[in-house]
């Protein structure tokens, strides 16, 4: 533990922790990048003309970093991080299930969470939030840390809280890109073993999903694939949190990066990557990322310290209930004059 504490001391006064990791396909040379509606693969050029491609966007990497600390696919936190606060909402009514601030978009801003009147008032009081008055960012950060520290790492836009002024940006972000890319075109066919023509259909289901369907496929090769991570330490420092809180957040962010690199790089069926070498720290000079096991021990120690100093909600898991219904479809009627009315 002495070693990791020494490394953490090196980050005092450092505005950004910048990391990069060179990756390679686990088999062969081809990989499938992320795609976007009406755009496809995000191909672009550097000023020097080098052809580049975005393999994984910052939004996707943020989601994958969050998933590293879930129990299975969520919504609860992994057992080894027990004691770290978050909020669960038990949905009752139209559906009966459970969600949490760890998996909901913008975390605490989820309508299943922030519409709970009792919790809403408790959060506002903790954050010193009043409509028409300046925001106290120190108290806001303390409130997020109290109920869900992960929100300070991954951001939260509280659009559903009163006038929507609270917006916490991501402290930890990342993306993956490849340089010197070349297309690798291929294709295939979806086979119907009963009837290649697609004329045999199920009664009551007449969508065009039958028969043999040929398709094309575009993968890529690259001279180099690199994952980049940017940890905004100045942002965390600016919140004015207690020292134990800051150290836990930094260690938790690094732990998520290690977990992602160690077990989360199968991005798609045809995009399975692995680190080629270790993590390279580009800033600050002289810092070494601790190993995953050491980080976990350090985090567990800080969870205990923060619990003792009452920086966390007690109990750490805030349990809410949310009554839900199915949204009714608006029906249109035709008046006697022939006009359509909602």
Percent above pLDDT 70 for the chain: 96
Q: How far apart are the first and last CA of the chain?
A: 66
Torsion region of 240: left, alpha or beta (phi above 0 gives left; psi -120 to 50 gives alpha): left
Identify the pLDDT of residue 340.
58
> What's the pLDDT score for residue 208?
87
Identify the CA nearest to 23 among candidates 282, 265, 269: 265
Distance CA 16, CA 236 (A): 10
User: Which tokens sit at 32?
Assistant: 């499938």
* Predicted confidence band of residue 182 (pLDDT cuts 50, 70, 90): very high
Cβ atoms 156, 144 nearer than 8 A = yes
- Cα separations in angstroms, 326 against 94, 116, 243: 6, 18, 45
Mean pLDDT of 288-295: 96
Least confident of 52-66, 227-241, 323-337: 323-337
pLDDT of residue 336: 60
Separation of alpha carbons 43 and 91, rounded Å: 42
Phi, psi for residue 35 in degrees, rounded to 5 = -125, 155
Nearest Cα residue to 156 out of 141, 175, 146: 141
Q: How many CB atoms lie within 10 A of CB 77?
A: 22
Distance from C-alpha of 152 to C-alpha of 106, rounded to nearest angstrom = 11
Q: What is the Cα–Cα distance from 217 to 215, expressed in whole angstroms?
A: 7
Q: What is the pLDDT of residue 215?
A: 86
Cis? peptide before 66, omega within 30° of 0? no
**What Cα–Cα distance (Å) separates residue 264 from each residue in 62, 102, 226?**
12, 17, 15
* Model pLDDT, residue 328: 82
Using 50, 70 and 90 to split pLDDT, how confident is the model at 77?
very high
DSSP collapsed to 3 states, the chain: CHHHHHHHHCCCCCCEEEEEEEEEECCCCCECCCEECCCEECEEECCCCCEEEEEECHHHHHHHHHHCCECCCCCCECHHHCCCCEEEEEEEECCCEEEECCCCCCHHHCHHHHCCHHHHHHHHHHHCCCCCCCCCHHHHHHHHHHHCCHHHHHCEECCCCCCCCCEECCCEEEEEEEECCEEEEEEEEECCCCCCCCCCCCCCCCCCCCCCEEEEEEEEECCEEEEEEEEEHHHHHHCCCCHHHHHHHHHHHHHHHHHHHHHCCEEECCEEEEECCCCEEEECCCCCCCCHHHHHHHHHHHHHHHHHCCCCCCCCEEEEEEEECCCCCCCCEECCCCCEEC
What is the reported pLDDT for 333?
61
pLDDT in tens, 228-271: 999 999 999 999 999 999 999 999 999 999 999 999 999 999 99
Strand partners, 179: 52, 224
Look at residue 335 in the predicted model and tell me its pLDDT: 58
Maximal CA-CA distance, the chain: 83
Judge whether residue 62 has pLDDT over 80.
yes
**How many CB atoms neighbour CB 65 within 10 A?**
24
Q: In degrees to the nearest 10, what's the CA dihedral of 75, 76, 78, 80? A: 170
Predicted local distance difference test score (pLDDT) of residue 39: 87
């Amino acid at each position: 533990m002495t070693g990791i504490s020494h490394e953490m001391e090196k980050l005092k006064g450092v505005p950004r922790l910048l990391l990069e990791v060179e990756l390679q396909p686990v088999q062969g040379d081809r990989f499938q990048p992320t795609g976007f509606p009406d755009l496809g693969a995000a191909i672009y050029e550097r000023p020097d003309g080098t052809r580049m491609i975005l393999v994984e966007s910052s939004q996707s990497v943020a989601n994958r970093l969050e998933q590293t600390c879930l129990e299975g696919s969520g919504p609860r936190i992994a057992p080894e991080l027990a004691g770290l606060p978050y909020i669960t909402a038990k949905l009752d009514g139209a559906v009966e299930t459970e969600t949490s601030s760890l998996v909901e978009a913008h975390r605490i801003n989820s309508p299943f969470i922030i519409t709970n009147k009792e919790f809403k008032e408790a959060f506002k009081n903790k954050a010193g939030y009043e409509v028409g008055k300046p925001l106290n960012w120190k108290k806001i950060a303390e409130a997020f840390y109290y109920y869900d520290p992960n929100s300070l790492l991954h951001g939260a836009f509280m659009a559903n809280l009163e006038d929507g002024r609270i917006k916490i940006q991501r402290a930890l972000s990342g993306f993956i890109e490849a340089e010197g890319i070349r297309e690798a075109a291929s294709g295939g066919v979806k086979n119907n073993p009963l009837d290649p023509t697609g004329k045999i259909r199920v009664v009551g289901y007449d969508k065009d999903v039958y028969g043999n369907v040929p398709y094309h496929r575009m993968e890529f090769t690259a001279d180099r694939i690199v994952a980049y991570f940017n940890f905004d330490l100045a942002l965390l420092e600016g919140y004015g949190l207690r020292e134990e809180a800051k150290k836990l957040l930094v260690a938790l962010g690094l732990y998520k990066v290690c977990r992602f690199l160690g077990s989360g790089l199968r991005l798609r069926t045809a995009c399975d990557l692995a680190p080629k070498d270790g993590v390279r720290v580009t800033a600050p000079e002289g810092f070494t990322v601790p190993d995953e096991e050491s980080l976990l021990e350090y985090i567990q120690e800080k969870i205990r310290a923060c619990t003792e100093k009452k920086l966390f909600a007690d109990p750490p898991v805030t349990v809410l209930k949310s009554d839900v219904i199915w949204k009714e479809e608006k029906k249109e009627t035709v008046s006697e004059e022939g006009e359509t009315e909602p």
